[in-house]
Amino acid sequence: MIVDAHMHIEHEDPDVIYGMEKEAGVDKAVIWSIWNPSRESNELTLKAYKQHPDFFIPWGHVRPCDPYWKDELRRIAEDLKWTGLKLHFGEFTGKKVQTVSDLYARYKTGSLETETLFEILKAAQDYGLVTLIDCAGCYDVMSKVAEKFNRAPIIIAHLGSNPQYLGAFCELAKLKHVYLDVSFIHVYRMIRSAVHLAGADKLIWGSDGYWMHPPVELMKIKVLKLKEEEEKILGRNILRLLEER
């Protein structure tokens, strides 16, 4: 089974996203929305899930600048009974409300609102949520997160988003609860390096759609000809985590 473990919906038509996934031969997809107010994000995800409940696996999102994020996180875990949460360090930078237009800024470690980040992560771990984090290349903060929050799985997006620290992020993945996703990797050979450094059991495939097209991202795995390791990366690892929730 092929599972796309990294799919966005930011106001797109869920049917269009579903069609993109089926074109790639994907069997299921983890879907979420970010860069929107917390409740709006989760309503977009809920809409997609309701249109294709046998295909989409909904995960939640909370934005730290929303004063109601605690209530929304409780709703995600207790009312909706979703199993995962997506966070992006880009939404924890500065005091102003962060939007998708801020995505291309280079996030500086010193500007991250780590107090709120740690508060949200503690709550997510209390609920037992799998948390996928785009750390925007901030290895030093991500290493603290990985060591401090070890009661539920943490997935680091994009192999950490900083090729210079690939080895260091792979070392983090040797912690029992830490995994790396291989979405949106321009230099596909880095994925082979990650297999060698972290092990195929710790890697999870995702397309980073809607921005990236799933068949293109899937081919980055296929051309590596990983044999039995491919099955783990393309679905078995994320399904195991979901079954344990």
Query: Residues 80-129: pLDDT tens digits?
Result: 999 999 999 989 986 666 666 555 444 444 478 899 999 999 999 999 99
CA angle 43, 95, 71 (to 5 degrees): 35
pLDDT above 50 for 6: yes
* Residue 112 pLDDT: 83
Whole-angstrom distance, CA of residue 172 vs CA of residue 139: 10
Q: What is the pTM of this model?
A: 0.94
pLDDT at 9: 96
Can you tell me the mean pLDDT for 161-171?
96
Give domain limits for the chain.
3-243
Give the pLDDT score at 55. 98
Residue in 219, 166, 216 with CA at minimum distance from that of residue 195: 166
Whether the bond between 68 and the residue before it is cis, its omega within 30 degrees of 0, is no
Stretch among 58-62, 68-72, 209-213, 230-234 having the lowest mean pLDDT: 209-213
3-243: CATH topology: TIM Barrel (3.20.20)
How far, CA to CA in Å, does 93 sit from each of 50, 66, 111, 163?
Answer: 33, 14, 5, 22
Which tokens hold the place of 173?
Answer: 């993945």
Q: How far apart are CA 147 and CA 75, in angstroms?
A: 27
In this prediction, residue 200 has a pLDDT band, given cuts at 50, 70 and 90, of very high
